[in-house]
Amino acid sequence: MAAMLETRDLTKRYATLTALDHLNLSIPEGAIYGFIGPNGAGKTTTMRIVTALLKPSYGEAWVAGHEVSREPKVIRKLVGWMPDTFGVYDNMKAWEYLDFFAASYGVPEVRRRQQIGELLDLVDLGNKRDEYVMGLSRGMKQRLSLARTMAHDPQLLILDEPASGLDPRARIELRELLKELRALGKTIMISSHILTELAEMCTHIGIIEAGKLLVTGEVNQILASLQPHRTIEIHVLADAERAVELLRHLPGVRDVRLIAAAPLPPTTVPGTAHEQIVSETQVEVLPGIVPRQAVLVDYVGDDGGLSRMLHQLTVAGVPVVHFAGQVSDLEDIFMQVTRGVTQ
């Protein structure tokens, strides 16, 4: 897949401070690339360089094959930039705000009339067309800022902390909007130090700390490289000790251990006066409901071995009610590769 954004040894120094240290990354077309790092790691510096707003001290960057430093005017047509602060003009309506920026990019007036309505609908602000920008909520301002970023139909969207300060509902709406933009063919680079914002939508990630890129690539590939073996969680209704002994001797199993009983979901007990809802803390007094026991297996084999593992438990009569691999997330990756260094 062709790269939409590439950097080679990208470096930025301020006197004795190296804000960016020989950054090499590649973002493929159509990706949602999560650029992750603590405050001061170099995320915003990188974004300002690749949007032709800041000159690097050393190194090069390309957007869709165009070198940033040599072709800044071309770059600004290819890139939509959304900074982490929202600048507005007093007494300007939502449609006027978009019209102003579209005109600044040279979008013809006829096209702007149609485009403004399309952009407002895309970010779910069609009913706020004639509202003054200063009167919008923060979440609405963020969505309007994203619409402004797309006023000239760029190929690459670069968004610096777009969910900063948003309430949970606004964060979810923004996340769904970014997925929709990817479906429309946009490539998106989004920075954040809040990992939960990125976990459900990124196809690729890069983790940066103290100006150095520590890891970059597809999320699934990074997880696989950092986890050479898998943890399988098995819940049984009885015979947990027998399951442990049976599992110890199977190929690919490095370790087996019992853990605290996993809680059952709330259960409706029919026949009571009010169809009583109970949890596992109450099950000892309810006939027919048995608490689960949990077993963790450290496993290095393939999926075929997992299938045989489950088969062996079933044949042995162990009542298995849950069998699944534990899934690591971006927080696990981040904590594993970073050291907590700040500049």
- Reduced DSSP (H G I as helix, E B as strand, rest coil) percent helix, strand, coil of the chain, to 5: 35, 30, 35
The bridge status of strand 187-192 relative to strand 32-36 is: parallel
The whole-number pLDDT of residue 226 equals 66
Mean pLDDT score of the chain, rounded to an integer?
Answer: 84
Alpha-carbon Rg for the chain in angstroms: 26
d(CA 137, CA 324): 42
Residue 318 has pLDDT above 90, yes or no: yes
pTM for this structure? 0.73
d(CA 97, CA 103): 10
The whole-number pLDDT of residue 330 equals 66
pLDDT of 206-262, one tens digit each?
989 989 999 898 887 777 666 667 788 999 988 899 999 999 999 989 899 988 754
Q: Report which of 57, 75, 53, 55 is spatially closest to residue 17, judged by C-alpha positions.
A: 57
Instruction: Say if CB 214 and CB 202 are below 8 A apart.
Output: no
pLDDT of 49-69, one tens digit each?
999 999 999 999 999 999 999
Mean pLDDT of 4-24: 94
d(CA 267, CA 281): 11
d(CA 3, CA 36): 19
Residue 266 has pLDDT above 60, yes or no: no
Q: Angle CA(177)–CA(178)–CA(181) in degrees, nearest 5? A: 90
Confidence of residue 276 (pLDDT cuts 50, 70, 90): very low
DSSP H stretches of helix in the chain? 43-50, 72-78, 94-104, 109-122, 138-149, 168-183, 195-198, 219-226, 240-248, 303-315, 330-337
The whole-number pLDDT of residue 339 equals 72
Residue 233 token pair: 């969680």
With left for phi above 0 and alpha for psi between -120 and 50, is residue 15 left, alpha or beta?
A: left
Residue 264 has pLDDT above 60, yes or no: no
The residues with which 17 forms a beta bridge, in sequence order, are 14
Question: What is the rounded end-to-end Cα distance, in angstroms, of the chain?
Answer: 35
Mean pLDDT of 157-178: 85
Query: Which DSSP letter does residue 236 get?
Result: E
Give the domains, in start order, of the chain with CATH numbers. 3-218 (3.40.50.300), 230-327 (3.30.70.120)
Between these two residues, 289 and 203, which has the higher pLDDT value? 203
